[in-house]
Amino acid sequence: MSQTIVLPGDRLYLPESSFVTLGPGIASSSRSGNSTSDSLIFIATKLGVLSSVKGKEKARIWVETRSKRYIPAQKDLVIGTIIARHADGYRVDIGSAQMAQLDALAFESATKRSKPNLKIGTLVYGRVTLANRDMDPEIECFDPSTGKSEGFGELKEGLMVECSLQLCRQLLKPKYPLLLALASQVKFEIAIGLNGRIWLKASSVGETIALKRVIAGVNEGKVKVEKDEIVKLVKEYLA
């Protein structure tokens, strides 16, 4: 799908046979009144650029905007901070207007007798499972199709960087050069949240801080996303 600028209320037509996941800025609508049409109708809810990523079986579409506040969308990957505990789970700050709910059983191998014991302030990596305008969002920290964590769950140690929503989406694209350039110099773990948060962990505190400084520079527009410049900066920060 070619990128086009859309306005709130614009209708977006996709073939009925397409399997798509709707991202931020797009809402589903009723079927067209034209009986000869085989299309489902989707409505743009934001001003921005219509973007898409095609997978092997499904495609994901969303409206890329310059919004600073994160609005939860189903299946979004997010990084959150535990801010409260209750009998059935946790309340998590994911940067949206409402706090997210995280069930204590929404972890790998969690049972009523064996639940994770997360402290306030703990970082977690999860997926949004419920995102309705009039309800608190809900997240989970495991892959329900496998029952395994698949990288979700508590994020231990490391550092979190707050970035623009646009940069986080760019980093999830395989061809975006920033992470490839960083990985050529330092081995590290990373979790990218579509809510404008990135978690990093390298083998040493110094390397982790160097990675954070480079990403923060790119986010602020002070560093160009070019391999030579990024490699040079990493070496300078590690010197």
Tell me the domains of the chain and their CATH numbers: 4-64 (2.40.50.100), 77-155 (2.40.50.140), 159-238 (3.30.1370.10)
% of the chain at pLDDT higher than 70:
88
List, in order, residues 6 or more apart from 74 with CB less than 8 Å away. 21, 22, 128, 129, 130, 131
DSSP line for 184-207: TT--EEEEEETTTEEEEEESSHHH
pLDDT surpasses 50 at 110: yes
Q: Dihedrals φ, ψ of 224, to 5°?
A: -80, 145
Q: Are 22 and 28 in contact (CB under 8 A)?
A: yes
What does pTM read for this prediction?
A: 0.79
Across all residues in the chain, what is the average pLDDT?
Answer: 86
Q: 211: alpha, beta or left, given left = phi > 0 and alpha = psi -120 to 50?
A: alpha
Question: What distances in angstroms separate CA 74 from CA 39, 46, 110, 223, one per listed residue?
Answer: 22, 17, 22, 32
Q: How far apart are CA 49 and CA 72, in angstroms?
A: 18
Please count the CA atoms within 13 angstroms of the CA of 10 that sit on its side-chain side: 16
Give the residue, 211 or 33, on which the prediction is more confident: 211
Helix, strand, coil proportions of the chain in percent (round to 5)? 15, 35, 45
The predicted-structure confidence for 28-68, as pLDDT tens digits, reads as follows 765 545 444 445 678 888 777 887 776 656 677 778 777 77
Stretch 120-127: mean pLDDT = 96
Q: How far apart are CA 115 and CA 117, in angstroms?
A: 6
Give the N- to C-terminal CA distance of the chain in Å, as an integer.
45
pLDDT surpasses 80 at 111: yes
Question: For residue 55, what pLDDT is reported?
Answer: 61
Question: For residue 37, what pLDDT is reported?
Answer: 42
H or E element that contains 26:
strand 26-28
The predicted-structure confidence for 77-86, as pLDDT tens digits, reads as follows 999 999 999 9
